[in-house]
Amino acid sequence: MTLSPKRLYDLLLTHFGHQNWWPIDKEYHQKHRSDPRFEIMIGAILTQNTAWANVEKALENLKKNRIFTINALNTVDGDALKTMIQPSGFFNQKARRLKNFASYLQQNYKEDLQIFFCRNLQEIRQELLTLNGIGPETADSILLYAGNQPIFVIDAYTKRISTRIPLPINGDTYDEIQNFFEKELQKTIHKNNLVPVYKELHALLVELAKNHCRKKPGCATCPIQTLCKKSL
């Protein structure tokens, strides 16, 4: 017996409900006329190798100092930036990455994210992957959540879950897992609905991993325990 990504999505959605991910402060952006997509892009870099709770603290510091624009991030003092994002960990490295990213967007796109995102998905992805500190997961998070591009994000949680439930994935690399989810979901989800489903399923898998499918799994209360390989 195997499980399809659509069936997995339905089960997790019924159990956890809508996650409405990626969380952003819409009121802040309306008040300051800033682009909420840039907050997501910052968050995608800050969340590398840390828990989201730590990223929230860093984002709150950036918000208090009004660093949610490309120009503000470019002009803020480097040491001050490190202090603001310290809760997210690896703050020296992440400060450099944020500075480099903001500088790139300013120099190449004149701070206009609409121009940046209004291109072919793979063209944007390949460009992102050339930037220092941006790997597939970060690039795809930016594309999906900030750019509303139909690409499924694979993280450590998804990889872990994929080894424990009977999904017929041929391989365990990032690309192989991503291709499986995208190909299978595209069979049953209309192309106009792929982006919201990709967002929701990714967030639901994170929720499953955090609450049940941890490194040491808590199978007793897991909503899909009967479908786990251990139970078959």
The full set of domain ranges for the chain reads: 26-146
For residue 1, the model assigns a pLDDT of 62
For residue 227, the model assigns a pLDDT of 86
Assess whether pLDDT exceeds 50 at residue 216. Answer: yes
For residue 232, the model assigns a pLDDT of 44
Q: Can you tell me the mean pLDDT for 61-68?
A: 97
How does residue 230 score in pLDDT terms, banded at 50, 70 and 90? low
Closest CA to 229 of 212, 219, 221, 159: 219
Per-residue pLDDT tens digits for 149-205: 999 999 999 999 999 998 999 899 999 999 999 999 999 999 999 999 999 999 999
Residues 6+ apart with CB under 8 A from 112: none
Token pair in block for residue 175: 């690309």
Domain 26-146 falls in which CATH fold?
Endonuclease III; domain 1 (1.10.340)
Q: Are 169 and 176 in contact (CB under 8 A)?
A: yes
Q: Can you tell me the mean pLDDT for 79-84?
A: 98
How does residue 27 score in pLDDT terms, banded at 50, 70 and 90? very high
Q: Can you tell me the mean pLDDT for 113-123?
A: 97
DSSP state of 110: T
Q: What is the DSSP string of 129-191?
A: HTSTT--HHHHHHIIIIIT--S-----HHHHHHHHHS----S--SHHHHHHHHHHHHHHHS-G
- Please give the model's pTM, rounded to 2 decimal places: 0.95
Q: Can you tell me the mean pLDDT for 107-119?
A: 97
Q: Can you tell me the mean pLDDT for 51-78?
A: 97
Assess whether pLDDT exceeds 70 at residue 231. Answer: no
Token pair in block for residue 102: 């903001």
CA–CA distance, 151 with 32 (Å, rounded to integer): 30
Residue in the structure block whose two tokens are 């991993």: 209
Assess whether pLDDT exceeds 90 at residue 3. Answer: no
**Least-confidence region, from 108-112, 173-177, 196-200, 220-224:** 220-224
How does residue 2 score in pLDDT terms, banded at 50, 70 and 90? confident
132 CB neighbour count, 10 Å cutoff: 10
How does residue 25 score in pLDDT terms, banded at 50, 70 and 90? very high
**Least-confidence region, from 124-128, 139-143, 163-167:** 163-167
For residue 192, the model assigns a pLDDT of 96
Q: Can you tell me the mean pLDDT for 105-122?
A: 97
- Average pLDDT over the chain, rounded to an integer: 95
